Amino acid sequence: MKIAQNRSKKTLILPAILLAVSVCFGVIIFINYNPAHSPTVPKSVTTKKSETVKAQESVTAKQSTPEVTKTEPKTITTAFDKSKYSTTDPSSIWIVANKQHQLNPAQFAPSDLVTYGNATISSKAIDDLRAMTQAASSASVTLTAVSSYRSYSTQNTLYNNYVASNGQVAADTFSARPGYSEHQTGLAIDFGSIGNSGCNFDDCFATTAEGSWLAAHAYEYGFLLRYTTDKQSITGYKNEPWHYRYIGRELAAEMKKQSIITLEEFFGVSGGTNY
């Protein structure tokens, strides 16, 4: 009986030992393969790698994208074309008539004369004369012409009368000989004052409302104050604050811009006090 009991105990102990060994072996395997115990990459290392990749991508993008250079648009200034109109053709709005330059032909007569108010002028000037008159009227200034186009014959009679009254030397300082007058081109107008007619054809016209307005605004409409005291040696004539010559807005604006007040100086044309 004892022998049988001992065998029975041995039989029970062996499986228990095997079971214990199996459990221990399983625990060891479980510990070795637990994800919590597997090696991991520190977050700081991952972040640095990510930043490095992004930096490399940024450099690559900059290298592959051509830089666009912005340039400011250049302003092109075109020189004034002084050859646009003739300075010798009596039908041109840029004609230069003075004691050195006679009209050709001498008995030239415009073929396009029109009348506006008291003025008889070339049709080339009519639109700007109308606009100027209306602008002055808006400023309570009434512009009126006391002399405009004169034929060769009329200028001849007028000049001879001045010579008879004042002598030729004196007459030549304020009256053009026939064939040399701007009035003969139909582009010149002598303005007068309605409220102060005593200043018509006199230096005091410059002090009238009409004279003051014209001096300030005539160029805006293409009219040039042709004869001034300081330019007598160039134009050949004494101061005439009432005498305006139509040259067109383009030229008038350019002369104003350059502060040039005589056609002779602007175009480089000879002038003077002698015929």
Identity at 106, one-letter amino acid code: A
The answer to whether the CB of 229 falls within 8 A of the CB of 271 is no
Q: Which one of the listed residues 57, 240, 264, 265 is annotated catalytic? A: 240
Q: Which of these, 114, 236, 245, lies nearest to 189 by C-alpha position?
A: 245
DSSP helix/strand/coil, 241: strand
Torsion, Cα 92 241 100 121, to 10 degrees, reads 30
CA distance 149 to 117: 13
Which bin fits 189, alpha (ψ -120 to 50), beta or left (φ > 0)?
beta
DSSP helix/strand/coil, 189: strand
Identity at 235, one-letter amino acid code: T
The answer to whether the CB of 124 falls within 8 A of the CB of 185 is no
Catalytic, 220? Answer no
Residue 254: partners with Cβ closer than 8 Å, 6 or more residues away: 80, 266
CA triple 25-26-29, angle to 5 deg = 90
Q: Catalogue the E-assigned strands of 118-235.
A: 119-122, 144-147, 188-192, 223-227
**Burial per residue of 102-120, b for 16 or more beta-carbon CB atoms within 10 angstroms, e otherwise:** bbeeeebebeeebebeebb
- Active-site residue numbers? 240
